[in-house]
Structure 1
């Protein structure tokens, strides 16, 4: 079973990254730092003549994601939602739907997904709409939403003080890699 981690932070090794790293520690996981790639915003052609989509790294990224069985979406909670780069990546799924909807949906419907979100302003309450957003996204694509972690952290490595988030990492590790 292949695992891909999509890191949505604009800063490497932050608290959300730390939780994701703990989740996949020792596993053979592809690690994709979305901020390292050129991802342009989606151009909406739903009600106009189809045009050209941006020439960027989207196809490379989505191909890497579709090769794996498990996707871990990792994002800091920015202004009570996902990071901009994570949102841009997911928005671009509209392009995949337009280009080859049956293929994209059939591939996504075979995946298991997990979400890790870390914030500082009451994240266990105020991060719930972010989790619900992912639930709707996964419902639309037929992706199995297998679990999430909401952690509290702001200062570097302060997530390591969130005992509940760390315990949840252990629970989800058993689901992702039962023999690990």
Structure 2
């Protein structure tokens, strides 16, 4: 059982990544920081007759990493009450993968995964971040993925999330749960 963590922050070492680092400390996790990759925006080819050519970017490499794991953590700052543009680009490209791999094959592969969300914001994130959590819930429902839970942290300036005791507690609880799960899988 593997864990893929997709960090959607545009800032290296920001609050979202700090919370992710606490979560995966001691876990064998594949941390994917989207700011280190080039992902083009989605092009809608659903209704064209000729087979489309998709961008030559890093998306396929990343989606293959995700498909190799059983648990996927989506970590994003709360930007304008939603996910980051980098995260949105990545998820939007699933539309192309649904066509390219075949709807049933990709959805079946994703439906075997359990998903978690980490979101960090500053302006009442525990209230204003809930529509983002709901958006992820709809995405996971569409793909047939189990939604294991979420953590919302509060922070703006670098390192501020480390003062959010509730988020730190939740990250520790989830880390313990993931450690126990991976330990059981290895036995």
Q: Say yes or no: does 1:53 pair with 2:91.
A: no
2:179 to 147, 154, 177: 177
Which residue of 2 is the match for residue 28 of structure 1?
28
Which residue of 1 is the match for residue 67 of structure 2?
66
1:110 to 101, 106, 112: 112
Query: CA–CA distance in 2 between the matches of 1:110 and 1:47?
Result: 28
Which residue of 2 is the match for residue 19 of structure 1?
19
Q: Which runs of 5+ in 1 are unaligned?
A: none
Total equivalences in the alignment: 180
Kindly state the Cα deviation for residue 53 of structure 1 after the two structures are TM-superposed. 1.4
Kindly state the Cα deviation for residue 175 of structure 1 after the two structures are TM-superposed. 2.3
SS of 1:44's equivalent in the other structure is coil
Which residue of 2 is the match for residue 39 of structure 1?
39
Kindly state the Cα deviation for residue 177 of structure 1 after the two structures are TM-superposed. 1.5
Query: CA–CA distance in 2 between the matches of 1:116 and 1:64?
Result: 19
Query: CA–CA distance in 2 between the matches of 1:82 and 1:6?
Result: 12
Q: Which runs of 5+ in 2 are unaligned?
A: none
Which residue of 1 is the match for residue 167 of structure 2?
165
SS of 2:17's equivalent in the other structure is helix
Alignment of 1:67-86 (within 5 A): 67-86=68-87
Runs of 4+ deviating beyond 4 Å: none
Deviations 1:80-112 (A, max 9, x none): 110001000000000111112121111101111
SS of 1:48's equivalent in the other structure is coil
Which residue of 2 is the match for residue 7 of structure 1?
7
Kindly state the Cα deviation for residue 48 of structure 1 after the two structures are TM-superposed. 2.9
Which residue of 1 is the match for residue 145 of structure 2?
143
Which residue of 2 is the match for residue 155 of structure 1?
157
Instruction: Give the TM-score taking structure 1 as reference length.
Output: 0.96
RMSD of aligned alpha carbons: 1.2
